[in-house]
Chain A
Amino acid sequence: MRALKSFALLRESTPGMVGAGLVLFWVIVAILAPLIAPFDPLATLQPMAKPGTVYAQGGTFWLGTDHLGRDILSRIMYGSQTVLFYAPLATLCAYTLGIMMGLAAGYHLGWWDIVLSRISDIILSFPVLVLYIIIIATIGSSGINIIIAITFASAPGIMRIVRGLVLDLRNRDYVAAAQTRGESSMFIMLVEILPNARGPLIVDACLRLGYVIITIGVLGFLGLGLPPPDPDWGGMINETRKMAMIFPHMTVFPVLAISSLILGFNLLADGLREVSLRD
């Protein structure tokens, strides 16, 4: 009900609508990829074709092909599936852990707070990239390990935000009212506190989704992402970057794909923030 109202309000924010449009575009592309992709993303057809080249056995390489002769448009379409599957899943995992840690630290304070805050300080003190490299190098690169790495690296930041919100909310009278009727800590944290922190958390989740997409791209670029030959935007950029000066189309289109999706999430976050600040 309220979510519907939020989206109705979002229509009044131009950046928000542009963001939502971009995100929606990629979601549709990912869902329909098997139907609309002109070629098999893994098939080697005609190496290093320029955009617009007509394929001898029918069809056109609208965005050209890469050094192995795979159709870039099809690879971008299938690549969006990877991104839009792993990025939200990783963000969700990071949020679940971060919220649990933040609630426990902010509500119980005392030892919970000291231990959890110090752990998160230690994790946050590493440069993120180094952290990813260490984790992936240790546990190997696979879809599930990307999620583990992102959860591990992002949860402390989320915990900080949640803890701050909880510190404010725990002093509200309705929390005292719940305590004085003997509710359990779990009930108070999940029913009385968490739902009232959702506004800032939703905005942050949209922004963080953008970061996670960058991260997945970066991991792909560094060769720590999904193992080849699955289409992965970051991996596509990495594989073709040496030829970027001669065949710019191989690099430019995946870059545009990543940028537009991140831009979409960031604009959507801006729009949601703008809407939530009103009335």
Chain B
Amino acid sequence: MADSTNSYDGPVLEIEDLCLSYFTRAGEIPAVVDFSATLAPGESIGLVGESGCGKSTVAMAIMRYMGGNGDIVGGTVKFKGRDMATLSDEELRHIRGSEIAMIYQEPMAALNPSLTIGSQLMEVPMTHDGATKGEAHKLAVQMLDDVHLPDPERVMDAYPHQISGGQQQRVVIAMALLSSPSLLLLDEPTTALDVTVEAGIVELIAELSKKFNTSLLYISHNLGLMLEVCDRICVMYSGEVVEEGHIDSIFSWPKHPYTHGLFGCIPLPHADKNARPLKAIRGQLPLPHERPAGCYFGPRCDFFEAGTCDQESVRMSEVITDDDPAHRVRCKLWNSIDHDKAIPMGDAKPPAEIGETILEVDAMQKYYEVRDTSMAAMISGAGVRHVKANEEITFRAGRGETVAIVGESGCGKSTFAKVLMGLEQATDGEVRMGGVNIGDLPVQQRSPNQLGSLQMVFQNPNDTLNPSLTIGAQIGRVIKKFGVETDPAKIQERVLHLLDVVKLPRDFAIRKPRQLSGGQKQRIGIARAFAGNPAMVIADEPISALDVSVAAAVTELLTDIQRKNQTTLLFISHDLSAVRYLADRVVVMYLGKLMERGTTDQVFSPPYHPYTEALLSAVPIADPEVEKRRIVLEGNLPSVLNPPKGCPFSTRCQRRIGDICDNVPPPVQFNTDRHGIACHIPMEDLRKVEPVIKVTDKHSGPADISPVV
């Protein structure tokens, strides 16, 4: 072992049989069991798994920062050949931040809001390398330039709240890299960011790690992202690595049933809600102190063999069928499973029939007034300004149809939902439901019939149910309120029936929300929305807060109930993969304006609006057979208070054609009957654009991806 870190050229990080536990009132809870990994200089390794699988705990253990109740109970972590357990607190403090740096999910929480960015950045070289103020300033500016922040000198003097979320995350990355660490731990670094911003950050991280030869440990729940950033990945389940290997071998020849299950849960381009629906992994993640004997995945596994899988704990075994020496799997039966048929797939279902038009939105507008009471504003006469949350929104939805509204945060999609629900009133235009304009009808003035026919599924599972009331009382209240049943016994009967429909045990009726998991709460939210037999349900990001396997189950549930009841579903989302999978028609919004609308087929293939094109390119796809054209957008979302005069997208557009884009609002051009694109570029030119996504399928050759509708 080399003593000097400078001449050391072995692996940066060696983790061997690491076991981590938390000690609570309930006793010892093993969080991570038997974790091993080796990381060479410049290599990037990914940890992927659902929440509670122990991925963040591993990162914390590498830093030897386990909090008050966590401890390493077995195994070793060696950083550059030195056992971290033998280091003194002083040595650890030196290593943290200077040789191992960490980037967290929430950039705003990682920056001190009361110090300028410059002073926070300069602190790093001054503390760790004893640099002078002048040197530190120079280094910091140089680093801000390296992370591609425009005008670094200005950013140096800014406070964190004065720059956008994406810029903040770039600053955090700059701060982490300032001491040129050998190892960078990234814990969900882009989860809190919009997809187009995420694409930029991902590219930046890849570029910088090459430039500085930094090793990366990348933690994420997003398999698609892993494919783009990592050389190797470890799939974790309930505190164990269940499969590891090179990115290609894991994605092309997964061997563990859990890995198969994960792929079955992701809406990949070839998934289709009718012909090839998603298949959720049945059951739930076991609690750490209730893990089964033998294989932890056993109770949820389709290949479970009693007597083999439920005996002693399973060790990792080498996969020898492919030419990847690093490919190992924690399964006794991996060699006997037919992996070609192992990717689970739901049964094909007949497509829903789309009936008469239920909802007509006609040039709907929603402006918020912002009053500026400052002296300057009163003198200049600009006392009242308008936030144009929704402008000229126009589309139709039929019975049984799924319409998706897509856009990044701040595009006005949630405002639109509020207007529909009557929580806000439209400033102009009409929203007709069953022929009646409800756009300016506040919720208090709507008839029980109108209220009952339009219900909502909310985003945050922890917020959607009243924590003080039982599940049964909450669903029952809806049934009673909408007059579906009036007799208490009948109400109770229907509550139990609805619990059956959302596939939850009947005794949940007497439980309180805090006894339920996130996915279960979301199911109750769906049951509540459908309790009054609505004609239309608005789902505002219903699955974005859930883990992949849970999200798949909730998605399937939503589509099944919708299909059965012939309900119109308005699906509001930022996740294009989910939208492509679920929607019949898509409406793309940007900064309150409608950019493109059409069937899913039309929107996901050329001609595209340049914004749709960029969005499609930004979404990571967990399929190595998909080839993607990379488009990384420059700049940030403009402020809604001061949007561009012409096309709202003109400041970031990769196909901007000139001043006309900045100054003249673009007309809506129609490609076909109901496929409209708001853009100045002539339709002929847009039609010539190449598809963003291509599948180079081994079997059928290159083909466009588009769902069969």
A179 at interface (Cβ–Cβ under 8 A)? Answer: yes
B467 at interface (Cβ–Cβ under 8 A)? Answer: yes
A180 touches B443 (CB 8 A): yes
Interface residues of chain A, those whose CB is within 8 Å of chain B, are: 172-174, 176-177, 179-183, 191-192, 195-196, 198
Question: Nearest residue in B to A12 (C-beta to C-beta)?
Answer: B25
**Residues of B with C-beta under 8 A to A176:** 421, 423, 456, 458
CA of A184 to CA of B706, assembled, Å:
47
Report the minimum CB–CB distance from A149 to chain B (whole Å).
Answer: 33
Q: Which 9 residue pairs are nearest across A and B when measured between Cβ atoms?
A: A195-B468, A173-B458, A173-B463, A174-B466, A173-B464, A182-B451, A180-B421, A181-B481, A172-B463
Query: Which secondary structure dominates where chain A touches chain B?
Result: helix
B456 touches A180 (CB 8 A): yes
- Give 28 pairs: A residue, B residue, CB < 8 Å, sorted on A: A173-B460, A173-B463, A173-B464, A174-B464, A174-B465, A174-B474, A176-B423, A176-B456, A177-B456, A177-B458, A177-B464, A177-B528, A179-B443, A180-B422, A180-B423, A180-B451, A181-B455, A181-B477, A181-B482, A181-B532, A182-B443, A182-B448, A183-B481, A191-B466, A195-B466, A195-B469, A196-B466, A196-B468
Given contacts A177-B458, A180-B451, contact A192 B466 (CB under 8 A): yes
Question: Nearest residue in B to A183 (C-beta to C-beta)?
Answer: B481
CA of A177 to CA of B448, assembled, Å:
14
Report the minimum CB–CB distance from B456 to chain A (whole Å).
Answer: 6
Interface residues of B in 104-145 (CB under 8 A from A): none
Work out how many contacts link A and B, with CB atoms closer than 8 A. 54
**Residues of B with C-beta under 8 A to A173:** 458-460, 463-464
Interface residues of chain B, those whose CB is within 8 Å of chain A, are: 421-423, 443-444, 446, 448, 451-452, 454-456, 458-460, 463-469, 474, 477-478, 481-482, 528, 532
Question: Nearest residue in A to B418 (C-beta to C-beta)?
Answer: A176
Report the minimum CB–CB distance from A260 to chain B (whole Å).
Answer: 31
With A177-B456, A182-B443 given, name 9 new contacts (CB 8 A). Answer: A174-B464, A177-B528, A179-B443, A180-B423, A180-B443, A181-B477, A181-B478, A182-B444, A195-B466
Given contacts A173-B464, A196-B466, contact A179 B423 (CB under 8 A): yes
Question: Nearest residue in A to B446 (C-beta to C-beta)?
Answer: A182
- Most chain B beta-carbon contacts within 10 A, residue among A173, A183, A196, A198: A173
Report the minimum CB–CB distance from A238 to chain B (whole Å).
Answer: 45
**Residues of B with C-beta under 8 A to A191:** 466, 469
**Residues of A with C-beta under 8 A to B446:** 182
**Residues of A with C-beta under 8 A to B468:** 195-196, 198
Question: Nearest residue in B to A193 (C-beta to C-beta)?
Answer: B466
Report the minimum CB–CB distance from A104 to chain B (whole Å).
Answer: 16
**Residues of B with C-beta under 8 A to A180:** 421-423, 443, 451, 454-456
**Residues of A with C-beta under 8 A to B467:** 196
Given contacts A176-B456, A176-B458, A195-B468, contact A181 B463 (CB under 8 A): no
**Residues of A with C-beta under 8 A to B422:** 180
**Residues of B with C-beta under 8 A to A177:** 456, 458, 464, 528
- Most chain B beta-carbon contacts within 10 A, residue among A176, A177, A192, A198: A177
Report the minimum CB–CB distance from A12 to chain B (whole Å).
Answer: 9
Report the minimum CB–CB distance from A4 to chain B (whole Å).
Answer: 14
Question: Nearest residue in A to B531 (C-beta to C-beta)?
Answer: A181
Question: Nearest residue in B to A181 (C-beta to C-beta)?
Answer: B481
CA of A173 to CA of B465, assembled, Å:
7
